[in-house]
Amino acid sequence: MQSNMEISKLLNIESEVLGEISNKMGDLTEKEDVLNNIEEEIKAKIEEFNKKFNLSSSSYYSEVLIILGNYIKSAEEKLKESLGKENDRHKNMIDLAVKISGRKTGFFVKKEKAQKMLEEFPPQNILDHLNYSSVSEMIINEDVDQILSALRFAQDKEWMHKFFDESYTGINKNDFEEREVSLIVLEPNLLDMATKFSGKKFHNVSHLKEFGIIFINPNISETGELFRDFTLLLHYLNEVPFYSKLVRRYSENHNFDEMLKSLLRGDVPEGETPIENKPIWRIVQRYLRKDDPNDPRLFEKHINPEAEHWYKAMSDLENIKNILPADKTDWMYPWKDLDFTGAYYKDEEGKEKMMSFNLIDIIITVVKKGEETYEYHQQEALWNKIFIEYMGRDKMNQIIEENILTGFANL
């Protein structure tokens, strides 16, 4: 067997880890040369990428960053043109995302239950800011989805933890209903609270899985942010229904409330993967590297539903060619096929730096002006790619749904 140095390097793991995967997964599936084939595919995609962007293996990392920065800037300008006037841009972004991805539905907490939760735990910062004496008075005049979205940046962590721990205890399937995902742009009177209470900028696009809400902060300032927000919107239009499906699946269980909390926290078991004769893959349902790039769970074989949501979002993004005029989508590239790929380029001092070809990594790196390099989306996509080549994408998704709460899949 080849050493699969390209994969080892991209995942920052020892070749022995890949050797174990090849042996055990090969025995299970009777598939040979899977890792070698992935290695060759990566090399071919690097060559194709370099050709597309007029690069080569001898290009400097700074050259790559400039070229991709110009690409993101050009794509964003055409997207802005398609979205119309600045004041209407984010509303039109939502409309375009729904046309591309489809109108999504799910199993979400009822509005009346949400109001009751707020009445039991009044968000005092929001009440004071909006000059209301009670939650019931506020809900009469304000949209409950807007208020729920504002909790994240208006209330402190202590309040949020208490709200989550206590108001979700005892929740059951009768507190949920089937309805469409709510996509909203935050109102100006709520955006004012972001600076007042958090003192910093919060995520431009975020979501509340259990309530079926995806919300947008329309304040953008850096090149690439609008493009990033659009891809995030497509991502959450896949992630929210995924978790809704899990909520519906587990809603019949007697300890449903604890299961729900675990899903919303994104729990990932601590400790090493159990040792068995058959392969066991860890299920990592969030990006651990954002918290700790040296988390040992990152260096074990694992699959990640987040990377799958991004793959589906990139598949949806390709549909933009069927909706907008050709001259507004000539920037489109099959990014979903490069989500697991990256390449090393040297800096001016001769040191190698990795450039992820995963589109969201590229966009965030450009937004950060190259001051921070993002590659964790690519790495998680590559772990998924390895599993998919052995077991198939449908099987991976089935295994994730069935085992996400235990955190391990025993094949």
User: pLDDT of 343-361, one tens digit each?
Assistant: 999 998 899 999 999 999 9
Q: List pLDDT tens digits, range 331-344.
A: 999 999 999 999 99
- 226 and 256 share one domain: yes
Give dist(CA 106, CA 180) in Å, integer. 6
Which residues 6+ apart lie within 8 Å of 21 measured at CB?
A: 35, 279, 301, 386
User: Hey, what are 304's tokens?
Assistant: 């990640």
DSSP readout, 266-332?
Answer: T----SPPPP-SS-EEEE--S-GGGT-TT-GGGGS-EE-HHHHHHHHHHHHHHGGGGTS-GGGSTT-
Q: Is 271 left (phi over 0), alpha (psi -120 to 50) or beta?
A: left
The predicted model gives 132-137 an average pLDDT of 95
- How far is C-alpha 315 from the geometric centre of its chain's CA atoms? 14
* Same domain assignment for residues 101 and 62: no
* Whether residue 69 is found in the same domain as residue 161: no
Which residue shows structure tokens 């202590």? 158
Of 242, 265, 288, the last residue of a domain is 265
Whole-number Cα distances in Å, 251 to 34, 108, 182, 358, 407: 38, 11, 21, 35, 19
Q: 3: pLDDT confidence band, cut at 50, 70 and 90?
A: low
Which residue do the tokens 């696009």 mark? 205
Residue 203 has pLDDT above 70, yes or no: no
**Residue 407 gets which letter from DSSP?**
T
- Beta partners for 346? 60, 352
Which contiguous run of DSSP H or E holds residue 343?
strand 342-346
pLDDT of 273 > 80? The answer is no
Q: What is the DSSP letter of 181?
A: P
Give the model's confidence band at 196: pLDDT under 50 very low, under 70 low, under 90 confident, else very high: low
Q: At 59, is the secondary structure helix, strand, or coil?
A: coil
What percent of the chain has a predicted confidence (pLDDT) above 70? Answer: 97
| Distance from C-alpha of 378 to C-alpha of 373, rounded to nearest angstrom | 12
Indicate whether 1 pLDDT > 70.
no
Residues 329 and 180 in one domain: no
pLDDT of 195 strictly over 80: no
Together in a domain, 298 and 349? yes
pLDDT at residue 154 greater than cutoff 90: no
Q: State which of 265, 283, 298 marks the end of a domain.
A: 265
Poorest-pLDDT segment among 41-45, 147-151, 197-201, 246-250: 197-201
User: Does 334 share its domain with 254?
Assistant: no
Residue 308 Cα to chain centre, angstroms: 9
Q: What is the dihedral angle through the alpha carbons of 260, 261, 263, 269, rounded to the nearest 10 degrees? A: -130
- pLDDT of 270 higher than 90: no
Residue ranges making up the domain that contains 397: 1-83+268-411
Question: Average pLDDT of 124-152?
Answer: 94
Supply the pLDDT for residue 194. Answer: 66
Same domain, 98 and 233: yes
Q: Both tokens of residue 160?
A: 């949020």
The Cα–Cα gap between 34 and 22 comes to 8
Mean pLDDT of 81-85: 93
Burial of 386 (0-12, 13-18, 19+ CB in 10 A): buried
Segment holding 410, helix H or strand E:
strand 408-410
Same domain, 147 and 35: no
pLDDT for position 271: 78
Average pLDDT, the chain: 92
Question: How far, in Å, CA of 167 to CA of 114, rounded?
Answer: 10
Q: Which amino acid is at 356?
A: S
Q: Which residue has the higher pLDDT, 5 or 114?
A: 114
Residue 185 DSSP SS3? strand
Mean pLDDT lowest among 125-129, 139-143, 217-221 = 217-221
- 57 Cβ partners below 8 Å, 6+ apart? 46, 50, 343, 345
pLDDT-above-90 percentage for the chain: 81
State residue 192's pLDDT score: 77
Do residues 144 and 173 share a domain?
Answer: yes
Angle at 246 between CA 243 and CA 248, to 5 degrees: 110
Looking at residue 217, what is its pLDDT?
86
pLDDT digits (tens, 9 = 90+) for 314-326: 999 999 999 999 9
Q: What pTM does this model have?
A: 0.94
* Total number of domains constituting the chain: 2
**205 and 272 co-located in one domain:** no
Please give the Cα distance from 40 to 160 (Å, whole number).
48
Domain boundary among 265, 280, 306: 265
- Give yes or no: residues 131 and 186 share one domain: yes
Residues 242 and 136 in one domain: yes
